[in-house]
Chain A
C-alpha cells in the first residue's frame, strides 16, 4: 500500500507519525505478532500492551465474551514485566520504522514513576498512562475515576521522564471533562480516550457470569457513539492533542473521530476482526481527503459544526 505521508502525517506532542492511525494498547500485542498481516512501517504508532513493574499472570477463567457488536475482556493485565519488555521485546519492534508508545499500569503512584524512569531508553517514543487500574493504597478505586489521583499519576510520571506523556482516560466517570482538565493541568502532553466501558454478561443456563473476573471492559462498535461524544467534549475543553478510540472499524468511523476533535485515532478490537485495519483505514482517510481536495489531515480535526 502506498500511503501519502505528506497528507496523512501528524505530530502528537512531538511524536511524529506517518499516519494518524495508531493501534490501541492490548489489541495489537507488541506489533510484531501482526507483522505477517500488515506493514508495520505504515502504522502511525504502535501502543504496546499495558506493562507493569513485575510480570503478571492475568485473570483466571474465561477472559473474553462476545456481546452485540462488541466484546467484553478481563485479561487482567497479563504481561511479561518491564524488564523483559525492554531487554527482549523492544528490540524486536524497533526493527520496524514505527514509533513505539509504552502503555504503563501501576498499583501505586510510585510504581508509575518507577516505570516511567525505567522506560527512558532509546526506541521508546512516548508513555501512555493506563489509569483505569485500581489504586491499591486507596481501597482499589481506579486512579482514572478521581481527578486528583489521575493528576498525581501524571505529575510523578512527568518528573521521571523526558518523553511525551499521554494520559489515557477511562469512560467510567460522571464528568470526563473534569478528568481531562485535571491531567492537562498536571502536565500531560496529550490525552487518549476512551478505554473500555465496564460491563457484564450472564450465562442464563448456568446462572453464572460469563467472564472469569465477573466484570470486564466493553470494546468494539457498540461503544463508538460514547467515544465520539467524549472525544468531542474533551477536545473542546483542552489545548493538548487528543487521540480518539473506541469502536473504530472503518475509515468513516475514523473520520468521525477526527471531526469530533481527535488529532489521531487508534484501532483496537478491529485488529482482531481484520488484521489489516490500521493501514486500510489510513488509505481510506486519504481517499476521503483527496476526494474533497483536502491536502492535510490536520485540516479536518475538530471541524464538526454544532451551531
Chain B
C-alpha cells in the first residue's frame, strides 16, 4: 500500500506524567495498514526551526475508532512543540513508515525499556489471543505508566524499576534469565536503550530463542532517501533503519 502524507486530526492529548504525553489521532488512512513496530514521521512546526520531522513509534491502534496513539517523551524543542498541539488541531504525518515486527511463534516475550515500550503495546494487541508476556523496565514508578495499556492484551506483566518503587528492584536484564528458564518462549521482541537490547540479545542467543530488535537512529527523510540512518549488517551490506528497519533480527545488523 502506498505510504500516506496526511493532516491527521488530534482527538486527544493527555499527560502520563510531567514529561510523557499520549497523542491520539483520527487517521483512517494511517490506521488501515499500520503494522506493530512501524513509525510515523511527524512535522512539529510550519516554521523553519526545528526543520526536520520527528520519528515516533505507533504505540497503539483502535481499529474500530480508526485512531492511532503515539506516546512520547518531551526531551527537546521538537517534542516540546508537539506537546503544544491541542485536540481539534491537525498534525502533519507521514506513514506508516518502516518494517515492523514479524509476528511469529506461539510463546512470545516482549521486553521493553524506557520509551522503547511504546511500540510493544500495539504488538501485544496484534499477538492476542496468544498468551503474551511482557517484561518492562523503568527508572521509577512515575515512569511506569504502561501496565494499564497492556492490561487487556497480556497474560503476565513483569516489572522492574531501578529504585525498586514498583516491581522488582533492578533492570530487565537482571530478571530475564529466570523468566526465560521458566517461560518456554519461542520468540523475543525487544525495544529500548541499546545496552538493554544488547543484554536481551545475549540472553536470547544463549538460550537459542529468535529475537527481534527495534533500533533508533537520527533520521532526516524517513523514507530511505538521505542515508542518515544506515548501519552495517552481518552480510556486509548496509541497512536503512527507516525502511529496512526499524525492526531487525538480532544478529542481522552489526552497528548499534
Q: Which residues of A contact B (CB under 8 A)?
A: 26-30, 33-34, 36-37, 49, 57-58, 60, 62-66, 68-71, 73, 75, 78, 220-221, 249, 269, 271-276
Output the least CB separation between B184 and chain A (Å): 40
Consensus secondary structure, chain B interface: loop
Q: CB-CB < 8 A to B222: which residues of A?
A: 272
Q: CB-CB < 8 A to A68: which residues of B?
A: 49
B 51-73 binary contact with A (CB < 8 Å = 1; else 0)? 11100000000000000000000
Interface size on B, residues (CB 8 A): 29
Q: Which residue of the partner chain, among A33, A60, A273, contacts B51 with CB atoms under 8 Å?
A: A273
B224 within 8 A of A: yes
Q: Which residue of the partner chain, among B48, B52, B221, contacts A249 with CB atoms under 8 Å?
A: B48
B 2-39 binary contact with A (CB < 8 Å = 1; else 0)? 11110000000000000000000000000000000000
Q: CB-CB < 8 A to B219: which residues of A?
A: 64
Consensus secondary structure, chain A interface: loop
Output the least CB separation between A148 and chain B (Å): 31
The distance in angstroms between the C-alpha atoms of A75 and B49, with both chains bound, is: 22
Q: CB-CB < 8 A to A275: which residues of B?
A: 5, 94, 223
B 213-226 binary contact with A (CB < 8 Å = 1; else 0)? 00000111111111
Selecting from B104-112, B130-138, B227-235, the interface stretch reads: B227-235
Whether B238 contacts A57 by the Cβ 8 Å rule is: yes
A-B contact count (CB 8 A): 91
Whether B230 contacts A58 by the Cβ 8 Å rule is: yes
Q: CB-CB < 8 A to B3: which residues of A?
A: 36-37
Whether A272 contacts B232 by the Cβ 8 Å rule is: no
| Interface-centre pick from A69, A271, A275 (highest chain B CB count, 10 A) | A275
B 195-223 binary contact with A (CB < 8 Å = 1; else 0)? 00000000000000000000000111111
Whether A33 contacts B223 by the Cβ 8 Å rule is: yes
With contact pairs A63-B218, A272-B220, A272-B221 given, residues A37 and B48 touching in the complex (Cβ less than 8 Å): no
Whether A71 contacts B223 by the Cβ 8 Å rule is: no
With contact pairs A63-B218, A69-B49 given, residues A273 and B43 touching in the complex (Cβ less than 8 Å): yes
Q: CB-CB < 8 A to B4: which residues of A?
A: 36
Closest to B92 in A: A274
Q: CB-CB < 8 A to B2: which residues of A?
A: 36
Whether A220 contacts B238 by the Cβ 8 Å rule is: no
With contact pairs A36-B2, A272-B220, A273-B51 given, residues A27 and B225 touching in the complex (Cβ less than 8 Å): yes
9 A-B residue pairs with CB within 8 Å: A27-B225, A27-B226, A29-B221, A29-B224, A34-B223, A63-B228, A73-B220, A78-B238, A269-B51
Output the least CB separation between B98 and chain A (Å): 13
B50 within 8 A of A: yes
Output the least CB separation between A25 and chain B (Å): 11
Whether A66 contacts B230 by the Cβ 8 Å rule is: no
Output the least CB separation between A74 and chain B (Å): 10
17 more CB-based (< 8 A) A-B contacts, given A63-B218, A69-B51, A272-B51: A27-B221, A29-B224, A29-B226, A33-B223, A33-B224, A33-B225, A36-B3, A37-B94, A64-B52, A68-B49, A221-B48, A249-B48, A269-B51, A271-B225, A272-B52, A273-B51, A275-B223
Q: CB-CB < 8 A to A66: which residues of B?
A: 50-52
With contact pairs A75-B228, A273-B43 given, residues A220 and B48 touching in the complex (Cβ less than 8 Å): yes
The distance in angstroms between the C-alpha atoms of A66 and B50, with both chains bound, is: 7
Q: CB-CB < 8 A to A71: which residues of B?
A: 51-52, 220
Whether B48 contacts A69 by the Cβ 8 Å rule is: yes
Whether B238 contacts A49 by the Cβ 8 Å rule is: no
Whether A63 contacts B227 by the Cβ 8 Å rule is: yes
Closest to B50 in A: A66
| Interface-centre pick from B52, B219, B226, B232 (highest chain A CB count, 10 A) | B226
Q: CB-CB < 8 A to B53: which residues of A?
A: 272-273
Q: CB-CB < 8 A to B48: which residues of A?
A: 69, 220-221, 249
Output the least CB separation between A169 and chain B (Å): 22
Q: CB-CB < 8 A to A29: which residues of B?
A: 221, 223-226
The distance in angstroms between the C-alpha atoms of A63 and B241, with both chains bound, is: 13
Output the least CB separation between B93 and chain A (Å): 12
Q: CB-CB < 8 A to B226: which residues of A?
A: 26-27, 29, 64, 73, 75, 272
| Interface-centre pick from A33, A70, A221 (highest chain B CB count, 10 A) | A33
Whether A64 contacts B218 by the Cβ 8 Å rule is: yes
In B223-256, which residues have CB < 8 Å from any A CB? 223-230, 232, 238, 243, 255
Whether A37 contacts B238 by the Cβ 8 Å rule is: no
Whether A273 contacts B52 by the Cβ 8 Å rule is: yes
The distance in angstroms between the C-alpha atoms of A269 and B49, with both chains bound, is: 13
Whether B221 contacts A75 by the Cβ 8 Å rule is: no
The distance in angstroms between the C-alpha atoms of A157 and B226, with both chains bound, is: 26
Whether A70 contacts B225 by the Cβ 8 Å rule is: no
Q: CB-CB < 8 A to A274: which residues of B?
A: 43
